[in-house]
Amino acid sequence: MKWQNHLAANINWAGDISNYEEKNKVAERVSRFVKDGDVIGVGSGSTSFLAVRAIAERVRQEKLDILTIPTSHEALLNCTALGLKTTSLAAERPDWAFDGADEVDSNKRLIKGRGGAMFAEKLVMASAPMTYILVDESKFVSRLGEKFAVPIEVDPRAVHLVETELNNLQTLEVQLRMAKSKDGPVITEAGNLILDARFQEITTDMERELSAIPGVIETGIFTGYSVEILTI
């Protein structure tokens, strides 16, 4: 039996989508990769939202049978509202995945996590043989960290320890990410906090160094994964 309420039947996205035309063209492009029987990792964010919509239309028109592995509550709700079957990494391994990015450099290194879902996104990316990164031209940078801080998901019990260790790495700035429309900090879907840290330079080893700090659950630095950058 299916839910008949409004939320179950309608896709949801908060606010306007910047660079809509560019993002929609990239979303349409990745939707053409879908084959019958695919298990697809579904990223979070506005471009991934448009891709889910485009994929759902192909599934409907061509009567394809696919499974999706969403990386956030937002992606899960939209997949189900659009009629896409969902599963989890506990049950299936993705044949491929797609996701967005906040920054992309010339070496295909990424910063992700402005939406706070980098832990699940990295799990899916590491599990998939290939992940297509859907971006418009505004996401390309000459230096990683040029536009955005690095999100770091932290166990609440370790927030002071992690900030102290980050300051020992000579960070330019560390801020606790505060929520909108609720009091207090952002709480991730795994019940953790997010520290946004700015660095003078993001080195090749920084993802590993940050992850080694006790209490760090995941970072928004994505390096060394099998990705292909898709843009118009």
Assess contact for 80 and 52: CB atoms under 8 A.
no
Choosing from 121, 153, 163, 207, the catalytic residue is: 121
Question: 212: buried, middle or exposed (CB in 10 Å: 19+, 13-18, 0-12)?
Answer: exposed
121 is catalytic: yes
Q: What is the 3-state secondary structure (H, E, C) of the chain?
A: CCCCCHHHHCCCCCCCCCCHHHHHHHHHHHHCCCCCCCEEEECCCHHHHHHHHHHHHHHHHHCCCCEEEECCHHHHHHHHHCCCEECCCCCCCCCEEEECCCEECCCCCEECCCCCCHHHHHHHHHHCCCEEEECCHHHECCCCCCCCCEEEEECHHHHHHHHHHHHHCCCCEEEECECCCCCCECCCCCCCEEEEEECCCCCCCHHHHHHCCCCEEEECEECCCCEEEECC
Question: 113: buried, middle or exposed (CB in 10 Å: 19+, 13-18, 0-12)?
Answer: buried
Catalytic residues: 121
